[in-house]
Amino acid sequence: MCKTIAISNLKGGVAKTMTASSLSAGLVNQGKNVLCIDADAQHSLTISFGVPEPHELATTPTTMMLNIINDAEYDPLDGIIRHSDGIHLLPSNNTLAGLETALVSVIARETVLRQYIETVKQRYDYVIVDCAPSLDLLTINALAAADEVIIPVVPRYLDAKGLELLLRTIARIQKQINPNLSIGGILLTMVDKRANFTREIITLLESAYGDSIRVFREHIPHSVRAVESTAQGISIFTYDPSATVFLSNL
């Protein structure tokens, strides 16, 4: 059974893309077949995988979703790239920014990405969707397609406050669009445990949400090596084999 996991937070700069790429690499290291979908018009995941000239890509999630909207025949595997780390990637570019307009008038517009994933999921153990830091129709499509959502959060006061809006949004999607969506957990990222305030925010998050939502015990530290691996277009595990942080029991 394939599991679709959306990586989402409405705030930028919380390491969503790093979470998506590192989680995918960790799963591949466990022998899983993984497809990453870059569902962000900023295409950070595509860049982090070292795809040259994203603006020249012939096939992106935009292409696939427009094919579904227009009821056109297409090869769902067209455009999927196999990265050197063993991850399969459906890369993106800024054409996603214009897709919102096309989706507005579509019947069942929230489920177009789900329809695409249904055509390829039999080939994969996991589909990881990197979402935009906004509540647009693409993010709603990702949450409507997902079995689970992982929420990266930086332990800072404003980031913690912003989490409330996302949780309310997820609750509405569970009620109205995707009753099978569950929250896989809150993942603390860019953590510097040397700071007292960081520890206080972590305690606050665990106290506020820990009884109803899983807060991962594994924290992702602030890491220069992780930033360097992105610049090289490879996963943190390839760039630094000593990296051990991985989300267990997905």
Q: What tens-digit pLDDT sequence spans the chain (250 residues)?
A: 899 999 999 988 899 999 999 999 999 999 999 999 999 999 999 999 999 899 999 999 999 999 999 999 999 999 999 998 899 999 999 999 999 889 988 999 999 999 999 999 999 999 999 999 988 899 999 999 999 999 999 988 777 777 888 999 999 999 999 999 999 999 999 888 777 888 888 998 999 898 999 999 888 887 656 655 665 566 666 656 666 555 555 5
Provide the CA 109 distance to its chain's centre, in angstroms.
Answer: 20
Rounded CA gap, 128 and 149, in Å? 10
Sheet holding 34-39, edge to edge: 81-82, 88-90, 34-39, 126-131, 3-7, 148-153, 182-188
> How far is Cα 170 from Cα 181, in angstroms, rounded to an integer?
8
At residue 188, the pLDDT reads 93
Helix or strand (DSSP H, E) at 35: strand 34-39
Q: 185-238: per-residue pLDDT in tens? A: 999 998 887 778 888 889 989 998 989 999 998 888 876 566 556 655 666 666
Residue 232 pLDDT? 58
pTM score, whole prediction: 0.90
Q: What structural domains does the chain harbor?
A: 3-239 (3.40.50.300)
pLDDT at 142: 97
Which pLDDT score, from 0 to 100, does residue 149 have?
A: 98
Residue 155 in contact with residue 198, Cβ under 8 Å? yes
